[in-house]
Amino acid sequence: MSDKEKRFSFKWLEKLKKIKHIEVYVAILFIVILALIYLSNFKSDNASKTTKDTTTKELTITAYVDDLEHNLEEILTNIGGITNVKVMITLDMGQAQVSDSKINLNHFPNIKGVIVTANGVKDTSARMKVLHAIEAVIDVTNGNIEILSSD
């Protein structure tokens, strides 16, 4: 280090030593830095929560239908004597608010029809149980529900 640089660093240190209560200033500076770091993390957490909320409120059309079909298949499989259940659901997309193949879940599209194939639905009693189960789960008239035997 040259003499000029040494003198500059000593002058700076001397000025720093003359400041009364420097510990207080350093502590305040440290607290301000910590507060800024905390607030920046807080803002990014809120932004990610908003993104997650938006993502959970929107589904692709196929995911929406697949989820409905899967849930209905599970329910119908639990009816005594009904096995090998397959469900197909069609939607009335004329009323859906769709953008980029995503559905706004605040406005569900109406279900147009349901087709069910299963073993054990040849019996009228079993067929009626399946029909009533579908009507209870999905708001569809029985005229738009078709139950076919796959026996």
Residue 54: pLDDT band by 50, 70, 90 thresholds? Answer: very low
Residues shown for the chain:
151
Q: Where are the beta strands (DSSP E) in the chain?
A: 58-60, 83-92, 98-99, 102-104, 110-119, 145-149
pLDDT digits (tens, 9 = 90+) for 63-84: 878 888 999 999 898 888 889 9
DSSP helix/strand/coil, 33: helix
**pLDDT value, residue 116:** 92
**pLDDT value, residue 11:** 73
**pLDDT value, residue 115:** 92
Whole-angstrom distance, CA of residue 112 vs CA of residue 67: 16
Strands 98-99 and 110-119: unpaired
Q: What is the mean pLDDT of the chain?
A: 76
Specify the DSSP element, H or E, that contains 31: helix 22-57
